[in-house]
Structure 1
Amino acid sequence: MEFLVNIKLRWSENMDPDFKNKIIKEERAHAAELIKQGHLVRMWRVPCRFENWGIWRAKDATELHDIITGLPANPWMHDVTVHPLAKHAVDPTPYNA
């Protein structure tokens, strides 16, 4: 099953820069694993904001919840919006989820 996910981050105001960099490195390494596992399909940054949109794959909403809440930056995700996606008859891309 595919999901369109919007994640907005809000870092702590007085966050130690070294700790923030550690979380960012952990997040990127974790994302690389999720890509290998087929869960993270595409990711776009929203320019000038700590926000992204992504296409995620999971067997169901519960698995997606576990994946998203397991992200290293999850404590700083102040707004996550999830849209389940369904196949459309005129989608030009082969559907393999």
Structure 2
Amino acid sequence: MSEKNEFLVNIQINWPSDLPEDTIARLSTEERQMAAELARAGTLVRMWRVPGRRENWGLWRAQDATQMHRILSELPVWPYMNVTVHALAQHPVDPVYT
């Protein structure tokens, strides 16, 4: 298997005000379950919450940007997400590589 690329992903959740609470609860549960599966697969590597916001930053791995888009667009909360993806490249002074 080829080496996967890393992506820094910012996700902001924007629930519509008229979306029923039970729908939000169901989607949130489904989202957590899928995130756990992605973590076990090595796709979702790390996740940080932005305090006081419905927002997070995550370190993700995928073969390429197309696969990264496919993974994100399959998330249950995708229709309510504002996503920014930054492809990451190795840096010569990264302690992992020195």
TM-score by length of 2: 0.91
**Cα distance per residue 1:34-65 (max 9 Å; x no partner):** 01111100001111111110000000000000
Matched, 1:7 2:7: no
Query: What amino acid is the match of 1:15?
Result: L
- Tell me how far apart the structure 2 counterparts of residues 18 and 91 of structure 1 sit (CA, whole Å): 45
Q: CA RMSD in A?
A: 1.3
Question: Which 4+ stretches in 1 moved above 2 angstroms?
Answer: none
Equivalent-residue separation in structure 2 for 1:37 and 1:7 (angstroms): 20
Identity %: 54
> Secondary structure of the residue that 1:80 maps to in structure 2?
strand
Determine the C-alpha separation between the residues in 2 that align with 1:21 and 1:86. Answer: 36
What is the distance in 1 between the residues matched to 2:11 and 2:96?
25
Of the three residues 57, 68, 71, the one matched with 2:72 is: 68
2: CA distance, partners of 1:5 / 1:82: 5
Name stretches of at least 5 consecutive residues in structure 1 with no aligned partner.
Answer: none
Q: What amino acid maps onto 2:91 in structure 1? A: H
The 2-side partners of 1:88 and 1:52 are apart by 24
TM-score, structure 1 normalization: 0.92
2:43 aligned with 1:36, yes or no?
no
Can you give the 5+ residue segments of structure 2 that lack an aligned partner in the other structure? none
Aligned residue in 2 for 1:88: 91
